[in-house]
Structure 1
Amino acid sequence: MPADLVPDDLWERIAPLLPARPARRHRHPGRLPVSDRVALGGIVYVLRKGVAWRDVPIQVVGCSGVTAWRRLRDWTEAGVWPRLHGVLLAELRAVGLLEMDDSAIDGSHVRALKGGPHTGPSPVDRGRPGSKHHLIVDRHGTPLAVTLTGGNRHDVTQLLPLLDAVPPIRGLPGRPRTRPRRLFADRGYDFDKYRRLLWKRGIKPLIARRGVAHGSGLGKTRWVVERTFAWLHQFKRLRIRYEIRADLHHGLLQLACSIICLRRLRTLF
């Protein structure tokens, strides 16, 4: 397995979160299972390259795509990816690299070629089946939470679910941080009902108004969420949704967010 698929710093953080495998039988134990690190390398390979699971090169990765897919399924059902993301966010906050006072939110369409839950006719793709990635980031574009919906869902419907999806972020003494102070968004979120709901949560809404000429100045802060979408879609498996199971595609999204957080931590060294 190439070392760049699962570097040491990623493995050190994810290894304690993985569920223990059942003990092997004493009689007829069968073939030795593939190590978790090699299987994680197969998952990261598919996430980066975008190849089909059946096309994962065993000679390069060290395991088959079927094995990697099964570990992805098991670890997604065990909740490994949100816990990994939470660990990395806490580390970022502890070293002063997470600034949650200002946050930005947006959504992005992707095609869903095989259908499945959380798909719908995309209004920006001639009604073809699609899904939406909804993302909230801090002032520097660090992903705080990501959700998945059908391509026909309006962005504003995920405003409150995204805020609820932000984990309690520790890393400093006192209460964990759970929400920003100011939230930046484009005209798709311009509804007074949601402005009032944000104020009730103690969050100041900074949302562009529909029907007003461009040049509000909010883009000077909001552009970071667009950059983070570009980072996410550098992982080729996320550009088009191939997974029929929505939880597996969401798991890959959370793993990609964790890798982005880890890259930001590496700026310290």
Structure 2
Amino acid sequence: MRVDLVPDGLWERVAPLLPPAPRRRHRHPGRLRVPDRAALADIVSVLRTGVAWRDVPAQAVGCSGVTAWRRLRGWTEAGVWPRLHTALLTELRRADLLDLDACAVDGSHVRALKGGHHVGPSPVDRARPGSKHHVIVDRWGTPFAVTLTGGNGHDITQLLPLLDAIPPIRGLRGHPRHRPRRLYADRGYDFAKYRRLLWKRGIKPMIARRGHAHGSGLGKVRWVAERAFAWLRQFKRLRTRYEQRADLHQGLLHLACGIICLRRLRKSL
């Protein structure tokens, strides 16, 4: 198993979240269970390189790709990845490395080669099947929440679901934070209805106006959302959607967000 795929810092945070392994039979125990850390290394290898599960070299990582896929399926259904992401956000807030006052939101298209749920004709890819990643980040580009929709979904439809997806972030004394004070967005989010809904939630909308010339100055703040997508695209498995099951692709998105948060935390130490 390659140690650099699952460093000690990542494993120490993932291990307590994993569901207990099933008990082995006494009379006919069968094969030994592949260690969870080896399976996680396989999952991270696929996430980074984009290689197909069946093509993962077991001798290089530690187990077969099929075994790792089954482990990914079980851990996704157990909700491991969102809890990992939330735990790392809490650590970042405790270290004063989050800015919950100013956040930015945006969406990005990816091609979906095998169809599945949350797939639709992409308006930016000649109506080919595609999906869309939606992300909300702080002023440094740290992802708070990420969602998945069909490629034909409008960005504005995910504005409130993204805000609802932000977990209660603890780490400091007082009530946990789960919403920003200001939200920056481009012209695709310029709807009077949603501006009113943001004000009702106590969030000041900083959204570029449609029909106005460029030069609002909001680009100096909103660019961090584009940088977050660039960080996510470093994980080659996320550049194109191969998973038919939307929950597995969503799980890989949460794992990538957790790794991004861990990188930021390690750089500050």
Query: TM > 0.5 between the two?
Result: yes
* Distance in 2, Cα, partners of 1:22 & 1:6: 23
Matched, 1:118 2:118: yes
Matched, 1:140 2:129: no
Displacement of 1:268:
2.0
* Distance in 2, Cα, partners of 1:253 & 1:82: 9
Instruction: Give the match for residue 103 of structure 1.
Output: 103
* Distance in 2, Cα, partners of 1:19 & 1:169: 23
Q: Please list every run of 5 or more consecutive structure 2 residues that lacks an aligned counterpart in the other structure.
A: none
Displacement of 1:211:
1.0
* Distance in 2, Cα, partners of 1:208 & 1:4: 42
Instruction: Give the match for residue 88 of structure 1.
Output: 88
* Distance in 2, Cα, partners of 1:268 & 1:115: 40
- Which SS does the other structure have where 1:5 is aligned? coil
Aligned length: 269
Instruction: Give the match for residue 214 of structure 1.
Output: 214
- Which SS does the other structure have where 2:31 is aligned? coil
Instruction: Give the match for residue 77 of structure 2.
Output: 77
- Which SS does the other structure have where 1:243 is aligned? coil
Letter of the 1:69 counterpart: W
Instruction: Give the match for residue 60 of structure 1.
Output: 60
Matched, 1:254 2:257: no
Q: Deviations over 1:59-106 (max 9, x none)?
A: 110100000000100000000000000000000000100011000000
Q: Deviations over 1:242-269 (max 9, x none)?
A: 0000000000000000000000001122
Q: Deviations over 1:218-255 (max 9, x none)?
A: 01111000001000011000000000000000000000
* Distance in 2, Cα, partners of 1:143 & 1:268: 17
* Distance in 1, Cα, partners of 2:102 & 2:62: 43
Instruction: Give the match for residue 38 of structure 2.
Output: 38
Letter of the 1:22 counterpart: P
* Distance in 1, Cα, partners of 2:119 & 2:268: 39
Instruction: Give the match for residue 3 of structure 1.
Output: 3
Instruction: Give the match for residue 244 of structure 1.
Output: 244
- Which SS does the other structure have where 2:147 is aligned? strand
* Distance in 2, Cα, partners of 1:268 & 1:243: 34
Query: Which 4+ stretches in 1 moved above 3 angstroms?
Result: none
* Distance in 2, Cα, partners of 1:227 & 1:138: 11
State percent identity of aligned pairs. 79
* Distance in 1, Cα, partners of 2:268 & 2:204: 31
Letter of the 2:79 counterpart: G
- Which SS does the other structure have where 2:115 is aligned? coil
* Distance in 2, Cα, partners of 1:254 & 1:219: 26
* Distance in 2, Cα, partners of 1:97 & 1:137: 13
* Distance in 2, Cα, partners of 1:216 & 1:55: 49
Letter of the 2:243 counterpart: E
Instruction: Give the match for residue 188 of structure 1.
Output: 188
Q: Please list every run of 5 or more consecutive structure 1 residues that lacks an aligned counterpart in the other structure.
A: none
Q: Deviations over 1:141-192 (max 9, x none)?
A: 0000000000000000000000000000000011000000000000000100
Displacement of 1:44:
0.2
Letter of the 1:257 counterpart: C
Instruction: Give the match for residue 167 of structure 1.
Output: 167
* Distance in 2, Cα, partners of 1:211 & 1:51: 44
Instruction: Give the match for residue 26 of structure 1.
Output: 26
Instruction: Give the match for residue 203 of structure 1.
Output: 203
Instruction: Give the match for residue 12 of structure 1.
Output: 12
* Distance in 1, Cα, partners of 2:268 & 2:148: 31
Displacement of 1:22:
1.1
Q: CA RMSD in A?
A: 0.4
